[in-house]
Amino acid sequence: MSSTRAKIRVTIFLDGRPGHEKQTMGIVNALRERVEVDCTAVDVRGRGWWTGCKDVLTLLFARGSSANDSSCTDLYLGTGRRTHIPLLLAQRAGGGSSVCCMMPASWLRRYFNFCFVPSHDRPAPGPQIVRTCGPANCSVDEKRHEQKRGLILVGGVDLKSHFWQSKMLCLQIEELIGQDERQWVISSSPRTPPETVDDLRGLAAKFSQVEFFHYKDTPAGWVEEQYNCSSVVWVTVDSISMVFEALTAGCQVGLLPVEWKKKGSKYQKSEQFLLDENYVISFADWQAGHSWQEGITVLNEAKRCAGLIMEKLCQKN
């Protein structure tokens, strides 16, 4: 493919998980900044166990295609393990390049051209593996942040990774909004337990400059709009994807702590990486009077991934 080609054909594979689809669409959107994209979506939900078994056997034992038709798809892209086999089968039948976000099973890696894997997942080195600073996402720094506006995003229960302490969290949020007179927006997430939602609603009722939005009441694109108009974003550190979304949007980001169940877990290491690199500040540092370091480079991993994909497509053609 020539670097001046006007259009590329992309087939994306979707598993219905919003976080996965944001990673995929973040890369598609970044590709659209470089070239016209003709995008087709394939929904992989509802594929049964037997279909999955047949697909694995087909991938392993069926002969590959030598498709080189100019009308074929240039790129097959998906996020999440449920997308990997359907994606690779389509790539085998139609030609083009195969790209996944997140780490695929070890026996599948050799089939992909690129595997974009967040460093906090600690991927083993390999020719297909590209480490990213967090997951790709749909955020863009539109440079219209309002200094008087702030956003607080609350995660929730995950029995495997951390302890959830609702009362302690709400006391920390109350301290934040009590000492910072911005207009604050607070939002929950699918993992936020009902008692925490009730406490957050209570905080919003207590402070005139605070609004609370239940995640179920927010439309698609709502949180990206909040990033764009907020200068400061505080996120509970269990919601690592939203931390990287806010950083990509150019916000100053603070971390509200959780107690990790396993010391040295990938989640804790990701938190420590962000602190060590001064991308974020901790709640404890904020209490001690520290602020954000100036001049930190804004992350845009979707753009970097798109650049690598375009280089690969140009080499193949």
Q: What pLDDT shows up at residue 60?
A: 62
| Boundaries of every domain in the chain | 7-137+301-316, 146-287
The predicted model gives 85-95 an average pLDDT of: 90
Query: Do 117 and 130 meet the contact criterion of CB atoms below 8 Å apart?
Result: yes
The residue among 113, 60, 73, 46 whose CA lies nearest residue 315 is: 113
- Give pLDDT, residue 55: 58
Could you tell me which CATH number the domain at 146-287 has? Answer: 3.40.50.2000
d(CA 71, CA 119): 36
Model pLDDT, residue 209: 97
- Burial track 290-308 (b if 16+ CB lie within 10 A, e otherwise): eebeeeeeebbbbbbbbee
26-38 pLDDT, tens digit each: 999 999 999 999 9
**Which residues contact residue 174 at a Cβ distance below 8 angstroms, ignoring those fewer than 6 apart?**
203, 206
Topology alike, domains 7-137+301-316 and 146-287: yes
pLDDT for residue 65 is more than 60: no
State how far the Cα of 138 lies from the Cα of 234, in Å rounded to an integer: 19
Least confident of 15-19, 66-70, 261-265: 66-70
With 0-12 CB in 10 A as exposed, 13-18 as middle and 19+ as buried, what is 9?
Answer: middle
The pLDDT tens digits for 275-307 are 999 999 999 999 999 999 887 888 999 999 999
Q: What is the value of pTM for the model shown?
A: 0.89
Reply yes or no on whether the pLDDT at 62 is more than 90: no
Evaluate if residue 5 carries a pLDDT over 80.
no
pLDDT tens digit string along 236-282?
999 999 999 999 999 999 999 999 999 888 889 899 999 999 999 99
- The CATH superfamily holding the domain 7-137+301-316 is Response regulator (3.40.50.2300)
Task: Give the SS3 label for residue 104.
Answer: coil
Q: At what angle do helices 266-276 and 240-248 cross, to 10 degrees?
A: 30
pLDDT band of residue 3 (cuts 50, 70, 90) is: very low
> What number of other Cβ atoms are within 10 A of residue 229's Cβ?
16
Q: Between 51 and 310, whose confidence is greater? A: 310
Q: What is the mean pLDDT of the chain?
A: 91
The answer to whether residue 92 scores a pLDDT higher than 70 is yes
Kindly tell me if the per-residue pLDDT of 22 is higher than 60: yes
Better-predicted residue by pLDDT, 41 or 122: 41
Residue 211 · residue 217 · CB < 8 Å: no
- The reported pLDDT for the residue numbered 49 is 59
- Mean pLDDT value of segment 205-218: 97
Q: What is the mean pLDDT of residues 2-28?
A: 88
